[in-house]
Structure 1
Amino acid sequence: MGEFQGYILFGLVWIASIAFLRALLKSRTRRHLPPSPLALPIIGHLHLLAPIPHQALHKLSNRLGPLIHISLGSVPCIVASSPEAAKEVLKTHEVYFSNRPLMAAVDYLTYGSQDFSFAPYGPYWKFMKKLCMSQLLGGRTLDLLHPVRHDEIRRFVDLLLRKAKAGEAVDVGGELVRVTNNTISRMIMSERCSENEDEAGEVRKLIQETAELTGKFNLSDFIWFCKNLDLQGFRKRLKGVRDRFDAMMERIISEHEDARRKMKRESCDGGERVKDLLHILMDIAEDETSDMKLSKENIKAFILDIFAAGTDTSAITTEFVSEDGSGKNQLDVRGQHFHLLPFGSGRRGCPGTSLALQVVQTSLAAIVQCFDWKVGGDGRNTNGTVDMEEGLGLTLPRAHPLVCVPVARLSPFPSI
């Protein structure tokens, strides 16, 4: 037992010594960096980011200035907290910031970073960006898929109207997740998740778990000597999520392959058929003249990107804006106005901006135009206040669900 304790003590001393030497060497080779708060050994400034990281960074920037340097464990970071600083990073010097850090959870869930959002900046990423802008999320594809969005918004308004007539409360966030999930699902694979509530629940659970796992603090991403260790037990959960997603996508891809073979056999000429995003991706994968060959893993990872980026983000934005949509400032949210960057800016800016704006604006218009809202599960919140506390997560969810009773104030317009 004493010998075992000696090994443990030796290991701790060795780790501490290496950490000290690394810090000493770093301090001697330090270049001209922005101001930085006092760091702790090994963890750097991680202790300063609690409880909600973006609020903690805002407080640091108020104290140290618009451009600060922090160490997330052994990972150096620059925080730009003013429009001018953001423009320098995202526009003037964007080529130096165009790569994404390799995060263990994201890398595993996306089959080794074979997706688009977190792929390294290079030929494959450029090919996928061009593909998104010209075909997958371009104006023509969005126009062809407009009936899908129109139908899902109509179903959403019909649901709210039924709740209003019955005087029942609505979990606004939950219903918005449902409508955006169904919209994205139909655009991707021509299936409406909520036709099968078990499958719908599974899809929503997969998205929720993906966001949770990719947003959790992982020691292996930030502490250099933990890189190949799984001290927090993430690997088992990551494997479970990816295996379930993989099984779902294999089934959907197989069904699409059968449908494509059937169409080729029938060789029917019924005019231009509206293709979902998965059909477009499979067309490109089979195109021998394509600049880049897409693998099945590329396709599945890209679909995961669309589900994760298109469901929670749009739903949470609409949920927050519906209660705080004063519209005092008219800002360009597409990336040219650096006071507000919901879609990023520059080369790595979100290619789904046009789709997101259509979904969010139409959903918000339906909520505001057609209904008044009584706060609380029973609609009897006399002071009319809403808890706007922010929760933890990559997409900045609410800390508490927004539960309201809708009150119809006019008949929904047939044209929405």
Structure 2
Amino acid sequence: MLEIQGYLVLFLLWFISTIFIRSLFKKSESYKLPPGPPISFPILGHAPYLRSLLHQALYKLSTRYGPLMHIMLGSQHVIVASSAESAKQILKTCEESFCNRPIMIASESLTYGAADYFFIPYGNYWRFLKKLCMTELLSGKTLEHFVSIREDEVKCFLRNLLAISKSGKPIEMRHELIRHTNNIISRMTMGKKSNGVNDEVGELRKVIREIGELLGAFNLGDIVGFMRPFDLQGFGKKNNDTHHKMDAMMEKVLKEHEEVRAKEGEGSDRKKDLFDILLNLIEADGADSKLSRQSAKAFALDMFIAGTNGPASVLEWALAELIRNPHVFKKAREEIDSIVGKERLVKESDITNLPYLQAVVKETLRLHPPTPIFAREAIRSCQVDGYDVPAYSKIFINAWAIGRDPNYWDNPSVYDPERFLQNDDPSKSKIDVRGQYYQLLPFGSGRRSCPGASLALIVIQATLASLVQCYDWDVNDGKSNEIDMKEVGRVTVFLAKPLKCKPVSHFAPFSA
């Protein structure tokens, strides 16, 4: 009986949604929409075309329908940009029409009702948060304040790898890289790191992983709006439970900091962390400079999510590419040896003098952006490249496809850091990854680009330089350097098969 009821419900949903979608398209006939595949699926629209990895599926469709493409996800218009030109029109020329990020069910549940900087709608409070990020929370002065923490964590990371390597067994690098990046963020944010799998920070890391999985999960309610209240997949309870766990942890950290601050008073020489800065902003006088407690916790959550998985993903891809391309690895090490020498560990301050290492990171971000697609939402109806974009349309910028566009990149599937250092074309070495060059957009661009790009680059470059300087890397028991480079993931993309390799000590300045 329950099975029959279930089928009746599904049939009813199909029938209603078919009528709804047909009526929607009748209303849309006056739009001149970009080209796209034919609609042939009730309820889901073009979703069945996207069964493989989203960025790869959209890339394949774009090769047929063009760099600016229209698809339907359920009842929602989606405009997909897969070229630098179309991305520039959306992110620069028409930016004011695309200043919002789409709010999904999971993001609304997990980020305090979209109270965080990442998802909060564009407006006065968003501008206030943007100013805080740039002048207080993620400013150059703040990042410099934490340089000793980051360099200390790199040394701890290298020592840990050395200890593990003595067993002679391959290391699953993703696990170690995530723990490393999470420890950096934990110490910068709340002044503590993980000392074991069951401690407070270790538990926090588990919840962060749960949140990442929920944010990347396919929720039918996100594409078929009228099904949203039914929560047929059961994500609502999971989202709420995970949010309550995270909120309890954040609130505990805030209260611990408030207690410490009350005891120590002014003039304390304790090294302040980001939660101290957040509390200063919460307690500030005046409406123009006051941060809500929810936004403070949401910002810390953003730091943990973006600052842990993103850099760890790039580092895993970079190490895999260096192992597969030993001539690149050799050149990167030679540059470090020539600039840093062979008597001390590479530091963050050395990075500006290591252009080849910077090119290695750029090339890794070109081929393997940690977030291959970033999204916007149309605030109002507008035109892009002569096509109509209806209000509230979702906009997908396919950074993965743009980084492989043969119109901008020679031999785009080949891993070649030299492309950023061509002496016959100085403009190539000037290409940056912070959103000014639309053929390379790993951190987005415009007003809603990633505010933590500078921190991510510091962590990625300094960690990668130390891995190149201090270790050789063996895979497949030294028989070959072949690595399966298939991808997995929705929000952050990792290697489908985690990189397992043996570090062989080459230079150990920290072993004494």
TM-score by length of 1: 0.92
2:26 aligned residue (24, 27, 31): 24
The 2-side partners of 1:259 and 1:24 are apart by 62
* Contact 2:74/2:223, CA 8 A, preserved across alignment: yes
* Contact 2:17/2:43, CA 8 A, preserved across alignment: no
> Structure 1's 139 and 56: CA in aligned 2 closer, same or farther, altered over 3 A?
same
1:374 aligned residue (448, 453, 474): 474
> Structure 1's 364 and 6: CA in aligned 2 closer, same or farther, altered over 3 A?
closer
Kindly provide the CA deviation profile for residues 2-55 of structure 1, in whole angstroms up to 9, marking residues without a partner as x. Answer: x989986667544433333223333x33x1221111123321111111210100
The 1-side partners of 2:53 and 2:14 are apart by 31
The 2-side partners of 1:4 and 1:358 are apart by 56
The 2-side partners of 1:367 and 1:250 are apart by 36
1:296 aligned residue (267, 284, 293): 293
* Contact 1:124/1:292, CA 8 A, preserved across alignment: no
Q: Name the residue aligned to 1:309.
A: 306
Q: How does 1:264-413 map to 2 (within 5 A)?
A: 264=265, 267-268=266-267, 270=269, 274-324=271-321, 325=360, 326-330=416-420, 331-376=431-476, 380-412=477-509
Q: Name the residue aligned to 1:104.
A: 105
The 2-side partners of 1:6 and 1:119 are apart by 38
The 2-side partners of 1:399 and 1:133 are apart by 35
The 2-side partners of 1:48 and 1:408 are apart by 47
Deviation (angstroms), 1:83:
1.1
> Which letter maps to 1:229?
F
> Which letter maps to 1:17?
I
* Contact 2:14/2:43, CA 8 A, preserved across alignment: no
Long gaps (5+) in structure 1? none
Deviation (angstroms), 1:381:
4.7
> Structure 1's 211 and 151: CA in aligned 2 closer, same or farther, altered over 3 A?
same
The 1-side partners of 2:254 and 2:8 are apart by 52
Once superposed, what is the RMSD of the aligned Cα atoms? Answer: 2.2
Deviation (angstroms), 1:168:
3.1
Q: Name the residue aligned to 1:67.
A: 68
Q: Name the residue aligned to 2:56.
A: 55
The 2-side partners of 1:81 and 1:133 are apart by 29
* Contact 2:33/2:70, CA 8 A, preserved across alignment: yes
The 1-side partners of 2:12 and 2:214 are apart by 33
Kindly provide the CA deviation profile for residues 330-378 of structure 1, in whole angstroms up to 9, marking residues without a partner as x. Answer: 24111111121111011011111111111000111111121111114xx
Count the aligned residue pairs. Answer: 404
* Contact 1:145/1:274, CA 8 A, preserved across alignment: no
* Contact 1:144/1:274, CA 8 A, preserved across alignment: no
Secondary structure of the corresponding residue to residue 282 of structure 1: helix
* Contact 1:182/1:193, CA 8 A, preserved across alignment: yes
Deviation (angstroms), 1:413:
7.2
The 1-side partners of 2:480 and 2:268 are apart by 61
Kindly provide the CA deviation profile for residues 56-98 of structure 1, in whole angstroms up to 9, marking residues without a partner as x. Answer: 1111111111111111111111111111111111111111111
The 2-side partners of 1:355 and 1:307 are apart by 12
Q: How does 1:8-19 map to 2 (within 5 A)?
A: 13-19=15-21
Deviation (angstroms), 1:269:
5.8
> Structure 1's 11 and 100: CA in aligned 2 closer, same or farther, altered over 3 A?
closer
Q: How does 1:77-92 map to 2 (within 5 A)?
A: 77-92=78-93
Q: Name the residue aligned to 1:36.
A: 36
> Structure 1's 67 and 410: CA in aligned 2 closer, same or farther, altered over 3 A?
same
> Structure 1's 333 and 15: CA in aligned 2 closer, same or farther, altered over 3 A?
closer
Kindly provide the CA deviation profile for residues 196-222 of structure 1, in whole angstroms up to 9, marking residues without a partner as x. Answer: 643343222111111111111111111
> Structure 1's 54 and 13: CA in aligned 2 closer, same or farther, altered over 3 A?
closer
